[in-house]
């Protein structure tokens, strides 16, 4: 039977192919040092697991969450977190939506707003969901290049006036996957002003908001800007912050109009997050100040080791300011794909070609600091040694 045209016109999800390639190598007895998919390798904190176990035994958590927006307890925990972390006031009743991971929210906000022929401004390079879901809705994704000379921030002034007037959504992702860039508050203010002028909605993917290294780079919420709720919705996740990727626990916050649109789309597709997970997520947010600095310190150790190792090979790279990704320029004479193949074939090091994330990702590979196995620093050192022995140099 012929598949739907919408499925035929998109490429396979890239990480599925990478996982298959890794599995093939392992079957051949050549397990690579894996800097590929960004899935936290540390366990979920025990206090969160304990909260889930207790909640799962409570029959009150077993039915559907009929509210549609999330339990009152979870929404209040999110609002309290927003006040502590960002100094913002978000109404639990109408400005917060519990979601089954940030990815789901990103998908549904596109379906809530985009009709065929609508224009969506999408960063390049970027998480593939923005562009693919726009295509599925029949919309047109217009790329906004993220270039090193612009600190990997979209140059709004470079957008043609006709495109600005046609655009309905504008996607941001800061801290940024894959570049590791952080958006200063002044830039977010410019984007909010741009959205007001051209009457479009900002969708800020803040999944990596708590994955930063220095207080000077502490990411901002776009809702810190006065009036941003009118033109913005922001997606947050517990996945990276608390090592909870498989739990699918997240939220969105923003103006009531946009939260209502997201909720209406969701209610026709899913039945909400298990209330036991919402209760455990509330416990996670309450323990943020105690746990998160430990997580950040561990990734800082790995970042510094990998960056120092790459620099020892001549790589012209500076430490990323946020996320657990290192955006590595490829040596002269290589494309992102050919360099990734050399790393894998000659060095048994798995990195992701930057071109997977868009045309402007060409010339880079992404290396994730989430590494399986016990001794992370030893694996980083081994990877650098493998690269040196494999003839990798800049």
What is the model's pLDDT at position 17?
62
- Average pLDDT on 336-351 reads 92
Phi, psi of 97 (to 5 degrees): -130, 120
Pairing relationship of beta strands 352-353 and 167-172 according to DSSP bridges: unpaired
Question: 174 lies in a domain?
Answer: yes
Helix (H) or strand (E) holding 135, with range, is helix 128-136
What's the confidence (pLDDT) of residue 251? Answer: 98
Res 183: pLDDT: 98
pLDDT at 68: 83
How do residues 41-63 score in pLDDT, each as one tens digit?
999 999 999 999 999 999 999 99
- Residue 232 predicted with pLDDT over 70: yes
Mean pLDDT of the region 109-130: 96
Judge if 190 and 240 occupy the same domain: yes
Would the pLDDT of 14 be above 70?
no
Residues 267 and 336 in one domain: no
Last residue of a domain, one of 258, 274, 289: 289
Same domain? 280 vs 195: yes
pLDDT, average across residues 304-329: 97
Mark whether 236 and 138 lie in a shared domain: yes
Do 121 and 199 sit in the same domain of this protein? yes
pLDDT at 29: 81
Under 8 Å between Cβ of 322 and 182: yes
359 in a structural domain? yes
Which of helix, strand or coil describes residue 67?
coil
Structure tokens that stand for 52 in this block: 């889930």
Report the alpha-carbon distance of residue 215 to residue 322 in Å, rounded. 11
Is 394 among the domain residues? Answer: no
- On whether both 255 and 145 belong to a single domain, the answer is yes
Cross-strand pairs, 237? 250
272 and 330 part of one domain: no
**DSSP state string for 167-218:** EEEEEE-SS-TTT-----HHHHHHHHHHHHHHT-EEEEE-TTTT-BSSGGGP
Q: Is the preceding peptide bond at 175 cis, omega within 30 degrees of 0?
A: yes
Helix axes 102-113, 128-136, angle to 10 degrees: 30
> What value does the mean pLDDT of the chain take?
94
Same domain, 166 and 115: yes
Is residue 68, in this structure, part of any structural domain at all? yes
pLDDT at 19: 66
Specify whether 304 is located in the same domain as 164. no
- Beta-bridged to residue 365, according to DSSP, are 328, 353
Instruction: Give the CATH number of the domain where residue 354 resides.
Output: 3.90.1150.10
Burial of 197 per CB tally in 10 Å (0-12, 13-18, 19+): exposed
Say whether both 54 and 30 belong to one domain. no
Q: Domain range for residue 219? A: 46-289
Q: What is the reported pLDDT for 60?
A: 95
Q: Convert the pLDDT of each residue in 68-93 to its tens digit.
A: 899 999 999 999 999 999 999 999 99
d(CA 26, CA 350): 12
Judge residue 184's burial from the number of C-beta atoms within 10 Å of its C-beta, 0-12 exposed, 13-18 middle, 19 or more buried.
Answer: middle
CATH classification of the domain holding 168: 3.40.640.10
| pLDDT tens per residue across span 94-113 | 999 999 999 999 999 999 99
CA 313 – CA 119 distance, rounded (Å): 43
In sequence order, what are the residues at sequence separation of 6 or more whose Cβ sits closer than 8 angstroms to the Cβ of residue 333?
none
Report the number of distinct structural domains present in the chain.
2
- Split at pLDDT 50, 70, 90, the class of 16 is low
Say whether both 280 and 295 belong to one domain: no
Does residue 12 form part of some domain? yes
CB 234 within 8 A of CB 170: no
Residue 215's CB is within 10 A of a number of other CB atoms, namely 6
> What span, in angstroms and rounded, lies between the C-alpha atoms of 361 and 359?
5
Binned at pLDDT 50, 70 and 90, residue 140 comes out as very high
Domain boundary among 289, 316, 335: 289
User: Hey, CA dihedral for 81, 84, 88, 91, is it positive or negative?
Assistant: positive
Query: Last residue of a domain, which of 289, 322, 339?
Result: 289
Angstrom distance (rounded) from CA 153 to CA 374: 36
Q: Are residues 258 and 338 in the same domain?
A: no
Task: Please give the structure tokens belonging to residue 250.
Answer: 């997240």
Q: Does the pLDDT at position 271 exceed 80?
A: yes
């Amino acid at each position: 039977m012929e598949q739907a045209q919408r499925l035929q016109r998109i490429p396979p999800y890239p990480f599925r192919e990478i996982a298959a390639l890794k599995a093939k190598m392992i079957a051949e007895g050549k397990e690579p040092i894996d800097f590929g998919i960004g899935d936290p390798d540390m366990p979920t904190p025990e206090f969160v697991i304990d909260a889930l176990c207790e909640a799962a035994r409570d029959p009150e958590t077993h039915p559907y969450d009929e509210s549609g927006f999330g339990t009152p307890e979870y929404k209040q925990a999110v609002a309290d977190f927003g006040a502590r972390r960002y100094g913002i006031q978000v109404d639990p009743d109408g400005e917060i939506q519990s979601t089954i991971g940030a990815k789901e929210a990103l998908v549904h906000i596109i379906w809530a707003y985009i009709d065929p022929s609508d224009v969506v401004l999408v960063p390049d390079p970027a998480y593939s969901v923005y562009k693919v879901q726009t295509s599925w809705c029949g919309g047109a994704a217009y790329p906004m290049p993220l270039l090193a000379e612009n600190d990997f921030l979209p140059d709004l002034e470079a957008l043609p006036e006709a495109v600005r007037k046609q655009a309905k959504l504008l996607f941001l992702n800061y801290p940024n996957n894959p570049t590791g860039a952080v958006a200063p508050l002044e830039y977010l203010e410019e984007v909010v002003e741009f959205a007001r002028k051209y009457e479009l909605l900002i969708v800020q993917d803040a999944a990596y908001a708590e994955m930063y290294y220095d207080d000077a780079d502490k990411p901002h919420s776009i809702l810190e800007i006065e009036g941003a709720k009118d033109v913005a919705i922001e997606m947050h996740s517990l996945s990276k912050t608390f090592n909870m990727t498989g739990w699918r626990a997240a939220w969105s916050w923003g103006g009531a109009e946009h939260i209502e649109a997201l909720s209406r789309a969701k209610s026709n597709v899913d039945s909400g997050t298990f209330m036991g997970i919402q209760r455990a997520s509330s416990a996670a947010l309450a323990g943020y100040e105690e746990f998160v600095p430990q997580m950040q310190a561990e990734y800082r150790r790995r970042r510094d080791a990998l960056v120092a190792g790459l620099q020892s090979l001549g790589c012209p790279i500076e430490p990323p300011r946020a996320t657990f990704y290192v955006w590595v320029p490829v040596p002269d004479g290589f494309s992102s794909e050919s360099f990734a193949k050399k790393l894998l074939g000659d060095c048994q090091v798995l990195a992701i070609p930057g071109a997977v994330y868009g045309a402007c990702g060409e010339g880079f590979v992404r290396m994730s600091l989430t590494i399986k196995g016990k001794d992370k620093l030893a694996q980083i050192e081994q990877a650098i040694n493998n690269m040196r022995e494999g003839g990798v140099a800049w």
